[in-house]
Structure 1
Amino acid sequence: MNGSDVIAIVILITIIIAIGVYLLHWLYRHSSKDQSFVRTGLGGERVVMGGGALIIPIVHDITRVNMNAIPVEIRRLGEQSLITRNKMRIDIIAEFFVRVVPTEAGVSTAARTLGDRTQNPAALKEIVQGRFVDAMSAIASTMTMDEIHTSRGRYMSEVAALAATTLGSNGLELENASLTSLNQTDISVFDPSNAFDAEGLTQLTEQIEERRQLRNRIENESRISIKLKDFETEQRSLEIERDLEYARIEQTQAIEIRKAAQLAEIEAERSSSTISIQNARIRSEQEGERIRIA
């Protein structure tokens, strides 16, 4: 084997390797963490998760399956609101996160029943939202509006448990569920000709009237309490002013009495002095007369 033959062999090997790399790049498909696929055709069905497989055109076909959690928001508002056990209508918004079960059986089932719709959240929602609405309606019919409000976690747990049983037929599972909004439906939506709405409307009207009467009674009692408090305050203020006036009068009387007593003492002292002076003068005159007679 001469040098030209070696070169030819090297070139041939290089060409074969290049062709092999090209075919491998063209025919080999690999999955990722968020994408799996199912290969069908020659060799039967094969689920590929976290790996790869050769896909030969014409003899093989693949169905890609989205492994990410997909949010599904359910809104039941207005005329589509849910009816509770006590026949009240509630507006409710809930959010569910569904995903393909990360097993070969789950991926196979999702590919067979859903196909490429796992890649389209809107298309997937069209398939599963009815199940969530049915579960939400079923659980709401067993609870009152107050119970749903005070036990939101229990309500969503029961909804999730009921809905999860129907998702398995499509290779799906419920990852998370949350109640994002809850409120009473506007009273204008209630239809008096509907048996459920008529009963709920009656209860709602009674509750509104009871609360109106209670509010009115509380407001009246509050007004009376305020007026009574004002009266007591005014009465106490008058009593204080009266006591102050009495104190001023007593003080004035005490001052006048004290002044009169002092004036009387002064006058008594003045009278005593006058008498003493007069007595002294008389004694002096008598003494003078006595001396003159003597």
Structure 2
Amino acid sequence: MGVITTGLGVLIAVAVFVVIVLLFMVSRLFRKVEQGKALIISKIRRVDVTFTGAVVLPVFNKAEVMDISVKTIDIERTGNEGLICRDNIRADIRISFFVRVNKTTEDVIKVAQAIGTARASDQETLQELFNAKFSEALKTVGKQLDFVDLYTKRNEFRDQIIAVIGTDLNGYSLEDAAIDFLEQTPMARLDPKNILDAQGIRKITELTAIEHVKTNEFQKKEEKEITRQNVDARQTILELERQQAEAEIKQRREIETMRAREEAEIATAHAQERLRAEGANIRTEEQLGIQQENKAREIAVAEKNRERVIAIESEKIEKDRMLEVISRQRETELTTIAKDKEVEGRSGRSPR
């Protein structure tokens, strides 16, 4: 029993060791693939492609990485190499095509076998592969459209180019296209000896002449419209000014009427106030006159009373004086009588 247990322990330990070794080997041999890349594994009997990752065995397998991200191919045609439109007008154009290796096992293998993994997404290689095809498609579609349509319907132009090229390009796919620049080729860069350029120059001359005439007509029409609008505006302004003048005259008249009415009311109020003031003054003067008369009367009465008192006093004084005089006279007479009597008495006693 102990031998069996020991044997099982050894087997388990060996199994665990083997698993650990295998995991370590797998971790060391596993190749992870970045986004936008493809891993091509050439085995003894077949070729595998993975876009995530796989185990690569040394000696037995050969692994190559291919760039399958989107690449840009620029096509530019300018000057006497410009794109010829249906009306033989040349156009300067710059268009970008976005291509990539199609993300399928078959297409990745096809590109790898035809071009090689290193050159599959090389810019120069892509230019060599597709420049002629894309340029031809550009000329084919451009010749189907007049320049004005080419210029105004860019999205349709781009879609037609993509349709002519197609999306399957021997393992590559055309993702999209973008027109970066599109303008009419300047006439100075055209060759008058070239029949197509000569026709294009004539077309440009005709179109520009027509446009000049239209422009002149539009300018004249614009001038007439501006003049008409100015006349209408002037008439409107004059009418508004007339209405404003009438309104101002009416307003001034109303103001003057109101001012005259207010001035009349003020004058009436002043007159009434003046009359009230004059009445008050008259009443005041009457009161003052009455008071003065009363005062004069009182003064006169007082004066008469004073004179009466003075007269009474004077009369009393005079009476008292007269009484005093009379009294003195009586005293004098009595004194005289007394003296006379004394003298007579003296005279009668002397003879004896």
Amino acid at match of 1:97: F
User: How far apart are 1:138 and its partner, in Å?
Assistant: 0.8
Question: Residue in 2 aligned with 1:152?
Answer: 154
> Which residue type is aligned with residue 86 of structure 2?
R
Deviations 1:167-226 (A, max 9, x none): 431x11112222233211111121111111111111111112222233334445555676
Residue pair 1:69, 1:99 contacting (<8 A) in 2 also: yes
2:134 maps to 132
Tell me the TM-score normalised to structure 2 length: 0.54
**Amino acid in the other structure paired with 1:64:** V
CA distance in 1 between counterparts of 2:126 and 2:191 reads 33
SS in 1 for 2:169: helix
The yes-or-no answer on 1:175 pairing with 2:175 is yes
User: What does residue 211 of structure 1 align with?
Assistant: 211
Unpaired segments ≥5 residues, structure 1: 2-8, 242-294
Equivalent residue runs for 1:239-258 within 5 Å: none
Distance 1:155 1:225, change over 3 A: closer
Q: Aligned AA for 1:74?
A: I
In the TM superposition, what is the alpha-carbon distance from 1:39 to its structure 2 partner? 2.1
Q: How many residues align?
A: 234
1:33 to 29, 32, 35: 35
1:217/1:65 CA distance change after superposition, 3 Å: same
User: Which region of structure 1 is more displaced relative to structure 2, 217-226 or 112-121?
Assistant: 217-226
RMSD: 3.8
Alignment of 1:189-204 (within 5 A): 189-204=189-204
Note closer, same or farther for the CA distance 1:121–1:10 as it changes in structure 2 (3 Å cut): farther
Aligned residues of 2:80 and 2:189 also touching (Cα < 8 A): yes
Q: Residue 73 of structure 2 aligns with which residue?
A: 72
Amino acid at match of 1:138: T
Q: What is the TM-score of this pair, normalised by structure 1?
A: 0.64
| Partner SS, residue 117 of structure 1 | coil
1:57-136 residue pairs with structure 2 within 5 A? 57=59, 60-114=61-115, 115-136=117-138
1:119–1:210 distance in 2 versus 1, CA, 3 Å: closer
> Residue deviations 1:53-77, cap 9 Å, x none?
32424x5433322232223332222
Cα distance, 1:208–1:105 mapped onto 2, change above 3 Å: same
Between the two proteins, what is the percent identity of the paired residues?
21
Determine which structure has more spread, i.e. the larger CA radius of gyration.
Answer: 2
Residues 198, 10 of structure 1: alpha-carbon distance in 2 compared, 3 angstrom cutoff: same
Paired residue type of 2:208: I
Output aligned runs, 1:12-31, within 5 Å. 24=26, 27-31=29-33
1:49-60 correspondence runs (5 A) = 49-57=51-59, 60=61
Q: 1:251-289: per-residue Cα shift (whole Å, max 9, x none)? A: xxxxxxxxxxxxxxxxxxxxxxxxxxxxxxxxxxxxxxx
Bigger relative CO (Cα 8 Å, ≥ 6 apart): 1
Is the 8 Å Cα contact of residues 56 and 63 (structure 2) preserved in structure 1? no
